[in-house]
Amino acid sequence: MKKSKIKFLVVTYTPTLNKDGKFYSYSPYVDEMDKWFSYADEYRIISPNTYPTDFLSKPFESKKIGYYHIPFIAFNSFIMAIKSIIFLPYIFFQLFRSMFWANHIHFRSPGNITLLGSIVQIFFPSKSKSVKYAGNWDPNSNQPFSYRLQKAIFRNTFLSKNIKVLVYGEWPNETKNVYPFISATYKDSEKLALEKRNYNGKLKFVFIGAMVIGKRPKFTVEIIKELIEKGIDAELHMFGDGNLIEEVKTYIIDNNLEDSVFVYGNKDKETLKNGIKDAHFTILPSKSEGWPKAIAEGMFFGAIPISTKISCLPWILGFGNRGILIEANLKSAVDEITNELQKGNEYLNEMSKQAYDWSQQYTVNRLTAEIQKVIEQT
């Protein structure tokens, strides 16, 4: 019996911009969606077609994307909330219209549009569905009400039928429609043999992430400053851009750290790869994470991860066996890192190997295979 065409719909808050006859969106999202699209016969996106700020964008590979545009909505100001409420009937109309067309509905969650989509999908119980939850799935974390509501709807097996909810990490006591999922940056062909580090000499720390309050870039610099003052020969290389970059640079100058902390801004994948493959540590003391891409990238080349105890990071770091878990407190964080350094070169190289071995299984090749399995349920 001939299998029916896969008509794949993406419901997302991530904007889709039409420029020069091509559809553009946020670069890492485009890279993954091109993989999803490769297993579908037809594909369409429903998303906002404008966004109030600039972001790192690139075009989708396919030129045959169908598109349902909806307005950008937000509830962070009174005027914007009123406008968003006025737009709601039209957005619900577009959601119903697009879901009637599809036979596989894919949600990119969390987000305001995905919350509305989670309600509309209840009326399509027989359609095949998947949710890529890119945020923090930890049920005990402090999250906005809209995030908690869409999580509750998607995990509810009565309201959400024929659905796979793909989340980062393994969480106990979850419903049967919640599945651990992965993300990845590097292919099997990009694997390198693990090289032992010398943890008795100068220590190279790398920070990769947006220079925004949620990633705590200044706190990262403060940690390195304290380590140096304790007599540890350390340097920090920071990759990323954002509204705190000038504040970080000023702090570096004010504290005479120009010879120890280097800020590069956004760089391409190859530059990042060269920056982390000889690093001793990757450090990211975030307030919240979905899949901590920067940490996983560092582990792929044997850099020991240092991270706060949030989201699925304790699981990724083997609860301290393949990385250093810290608190968001300067003295506590510095003491924890110092204690681990005192355990010596052999111990740290074993931790590096544990990080490397674990990360080698999470490649683009595996991600692509996992995506194919999800779509083939249609």
Residue among 54, 72, 82 at smallest CA distance from 112: 72
Which pLDDT band holds residue 378 (cuts at 50, 70, 90)? low
Does the structure show a pLDDT above 80 at 152? Answer: yes
* Under 8 Å between Cβ of 26 and 55: yes
**Model pLDDT, residue 218:** 97
Cα–Cα distance list, 10 to 23, 149, 318 (Å): 14, 20, 33
Does the structure show a pLDDT above 70 at 3? Answer: no
Domain around 201: 188-359
Q: To 5 degrees, how large is the angle CA 305–CA 310–CA 311? A: 100
SS3 212: coil
SS3 227: helix
Flag whether 1 is in a domain.
no
Least confident of 181-185, 215-219, 271-275: 181-185
Q: Which spans in the chain are helix H?
A: 27-37, 78-101, 112-120, 145-155, 217-229, 245-254, 269-276, 293-300, 313-316, 330-341, 345-359, 364-375
| Residues 175 and 296 grouped into a single domain | no
What's the CATH number where 36 sits? Answer: 3.40.50.2000
Reported as a single tens digit per residue, the pLDDT across 243-269 is 999 999 999 999 999 999 999 998 888
CA distance 230 to 257: 14
**Model pLDDT, residue 140:** 80
**Model pLDDT, residue 20:** 82
Flag whether 2 is in a domain.
no
| Residues 241 and 308 grouped into a single domain | yes
Does the structure show a pLDDT above 90 at 2? Answer: no
CA dihedral 87, 92, 93, 99 (to 10 degrees): 140
- Average pLDDT over the chain, rounded to an integer: 93
Reported as a single tens digit per residue, the pLDDT across 259-304 is 999 999 988 889 999 999 999 999 999 988 888 888 999 999 999 9
- Any bridge partners for residue 18, and if so which? 23
| Residues 192 and 178 grouped into a single domain | no
CA distance 306 to 149: 31
| Residues 170 and 192 grouped into a single domain | no
| Residues 57 and 178 grouped into a single domain | yes
Chain center to CA of 211: 15
SS3 32: helix
CA distance 311 to 124: 31
Which pLDDT band holds residue 139 (cuts at 50, 70, 90)? confident
Residue among 49, 44, 22, 48 at smallest CA distance from 33: 44
| Residues 47 and 114 grouped into a single domain | yes
| Residues 136 and 232 grouped into a single domain | no
Flag whether 326 is in a domain.
yes
C-beta neighbour count of 9 within 10 angstroms: 26
Does the structure show a pLDDT above 50 at 338? Answer: yes
For the residues 344-362, what does the mean pLDDT come to?
Answer: 96
| Residues 301 and 207 grouped into a single domain | yes
| Residues 21 and 129 grouped into a single domain | yes
C-beta neighbour count of 367 within 10 angstroms: 18
**Model pLDDT, residue 37:** 95
First-to-last CA distance in the chain? 15
**Model pLDDT, residue 266:** 87
Which pLDDT band holds residue 85 (cuts at 50, 70, 90)? very high
**Model pLDDT, residue 208:** 94
**Model pLDDT, residue 263:** 97
Reported as a single tens digit per residue, the pLDDT across 38-84 is 999 999 999 999 887 777 788 999 878 999 999 999 888 899 999 99
For the residues 95-110, what does the mean pLDDT come to?
Answer: 97
Flag whether 33 is in a domain.
yes
Domains: count for the chain: 2
Instruction: Read off the pTM.
Output: 0.85
CA distance 261 to 147: 36
| Residues 159 and 29 grouped into a single domain | yes
| Residues 154 and 231 grouped into a single domain | no
Exposure string of 218-244, with b = 16+ CB inside 10 Å and e = fewer, is: bbbbbbbbbbbeeeeebbbbbbbbbeb
Least confident of 109-113, 168-172, 193-197, 315-319: 168-172
Q: Judge if the upstream peptide bond of residue 110 is cis by omega within 30 degrees of 0.
A: yes
**Model pLDDT, residue 53:** 72
**Model pLDDT, residue 175:** 92
| Residues 203 and 336 grouped into a single domain | yes
**Model pLDDT, residue 1:** 44
Q: List strands edge to edge, sheet with 178-181.
A: 66-70, 42-48, 7-12, 104-109, 128-133, 163-168, 178-181
C-beta neighbour count of 370 within 10 angstroms: 16
Does the structure show a pLDDT above 50 at 176? Answer: yes
